[in-house]
Structure 1
Amino acid sequence: MSELLECVETGARDNATASVIWLHGLGADGHDFEPIVPELRLPAGLPVRFVFPHAPVRPVTLNGGMSMRAWYDIIALGGNAQQDADGIRDSEQKVHALIRRENERGIPTDRIVLAGFSQGGAIALHTGVRYPERLAGIMGLSTYLPLADTVPAERNEANAGTPVLMAHGTEDPVLPLQMGANSRAQLDGMGYSVEWHDYPMQHQVCLEEIQAISAWLQRVLG
């Protein structure tokens, strides 16, 4: 049983009928996307609990071994770079525990969206396609699909038809647009329904993107 991560929670509390579990990027924490919730302007008739977990603190090889909040170690970035499979799978189990807690609080799995930005988005995509129960949606912002070679064997049919939202900046210097586009193409090729947006921005989120996220959340949770 994976230990439950500390989380920041906002949005609907006791009356929530849906949940969004939203994972932050490398070196950030659960407060990073908290300010976006009011900007989504979700209707009062859609009470959503937003759960923003804090990733564990661990050394990150790419950043000179400095310890920071990270969902997994990054040895290098690029097509053939070695990946921290153990760290990725450990974070996958931590997300499973958060989903189960939402279930215990009365939110069925098909009313839960897994979301994330950058490294958090990678875990959202990785976990979402493998999860054994149907999710409401999977959202990956400025990110890529890690351990991509293992997806065909490990993906679960429960989420074969789950809506996926991906968005990326065309000028992203951290995770180049092509990394996201390649992951989108792989998911498309396996039959996933991927809604894709790109914006003239760097490794960030813009207002137009927030509006697209809001519209998508209202569709998949409405």
Structure 2
Amino acid sequence: MSLAPIEIETAPNPTATVLLMHGLGADGNDFVPIANELDLKAVGAVRFVFPNAPVIPVTINGGYRMPAWYDIAAADLVKREDEPGLRRSQAAIEALIANEKQRGIPAHRIVIAGFSQGCAMALMTGLRHAERLAGIVGLSGYLPLAATTAIERHAANHETPIFLGHGTRDGVVQIERARASRDALVALGHAVEWHEYPMEHSVCMEEIADLNRFLLRVLAAA
């Protein structure tokens, strides 16, 4: 991580954590306003953790250095994937999960979430995590290293609920790519709650409302 994560607690002594990764070129502040729109009082105090991706050169942007969880070589997103970068960020996110557990939040009370590149990291890390998580959330993203998911995913999270939301007019991560990710996960037996919205590469209020209901459900059951 390039900077210490931003943290928000909805009340003292949180009993659950939502770890939310931003997209390419953004930072941990990006989703703070959306977290403030969520109402999770029914499941008790929640800690939101917004990590900051490292600043690295991004090939598709002419090598310009920006916050990124991994490099992107082509608009296709899955050709020439930056596997070393993906795995470095996976290890960093695993360290954040471990930190939450050290602070008293068990894995089954942790939701791992992300937008765009952050979505890719949430799916990659969540499916491979060795303890059952409360839920996995992917917004406007896709499944990275899809070919290795079947053999690398951990049995602990085979039945973890997954929320996927995507815009039908997304010009950054085409919805066909997201649908293919959804289909791959369903084919592996994962429980995917799928939502499409008439929006670009962004988040809308309808999606926030659907996400709120998902978080209440998975954290109530955890």
Please report the TM-score for the alignment, with normalisation by the length of structure 2: 0.96
Mapping of residues 199-214 of structure 1, within 5 Å: 199-214=197-212
Please tell me the residue identity of whatever aligns with 2:95: A
Contact 2:43 / 2:216 at 8 angstroms: preserved in 1? no
**1:198 counterpart = 2:175:** no
Q: What is the aligned partner in structure 2 of residue 129 from structure 1?
A: 127
Q: Give the deviation of 1:13 after TM superposition.
A: 5.8
Q: 1:160 aligns with which of 144, 158, 161?
A: 158
- Unaligned runs of 5+ residues in structure 1 are none
Please tell me the residue identity of whatever aligns with 2:133: L
**Higher helix proportion:** 2
**1:120 counterpart = 2:135:** no
Q: What is the aligned partner in structure 2 of residue 70 from structure 1?
A: 68
Contact 2:78 / 2:144 at 8 angstroms: preserved in 1? no
Q: How big is the alpha-carbon RMSD for the aligned residues of Structure 1 and Structure 2?
A: 1.4
Query: Which range is displaced more, 4-13 or 115-124?
Result: 4-13
**1:83 counterpart = 2:98:** no
What is the rounded CA distance, in whole Å, between the counterparts of 2:78 and 2:48 in structure 1? 35
SS at match of 1:19: strand
Q: 1:145 aligns with which of 143, 146, 154?
A: 143
What is the rounded CA distance, in whole Å, between the counterparts of 1:5 and 1:109 in structure 2? 24
Q: What is the aligned partner in structure 1 of residue 167 from structure 2?
A: 169
Mapping of residues 43-54 of structure 1, within 5 Å: 43=41, 45-54=43-52
SS at match of 2:113: strand
Q: What is the aligned partner in structure 2 of residue 110 from structure 1?
A: 108
Q: Give the deviation of 1:38 after TM superposition.
A: 2.0
After TM superposition, what 4+ stretches of structure 1 lie above 2 angstroms from structure 2? 11-14
**1:182 counterpart = 2:160:** no
Instruction: Quickly say closer, same or farther: Cα 1:37–1:69, change in 2 above 3 A.
Output: same
Instruction: Quickly say closer, same or farther: Cα 1:47–1:148, change in 2 above 3 A.
Output: same
SS at match of 2:40: coil
- Unaligned runs of 5+ residues in structure 2 are none
Please tell me the residue identity of whatever aligns with 1:31: N
Please report the TM-score for the alignment, with normalisation by the length of structure 1: 0.96
Q: Give the deviation of 1:94 after TM superposition.
A: 0.3
Instruction: Quickly say closer, same or farther: Cα 1:199–1:57, change in 2 above 3 A.
Output: same
Contact 1:165 / 1:194 at 8 angstroms: preserved in 2? yes
What is the rounded CA distance, in whole Å, between the counterparts of 2:78 and 2:139 in structure 1? 22
Q: Give the deviation of 1:77 after TM superposition.
A: 2.7
Q: What is the aligned partner in structure 2 of residue 7 from structure 1?
A: 5
Aligned residues: 220
Contact 1:11 / 1:37 at 8 angstroms: preserved in 2? no
- Percent identity over the alignment is 53
What is the rounded CA distance, in whole Å, between the counterparts of 1:42 and 1:19 in structure 2? 11
Q: Give the deviation of 1:43 after TM superposition.
A: 1.8
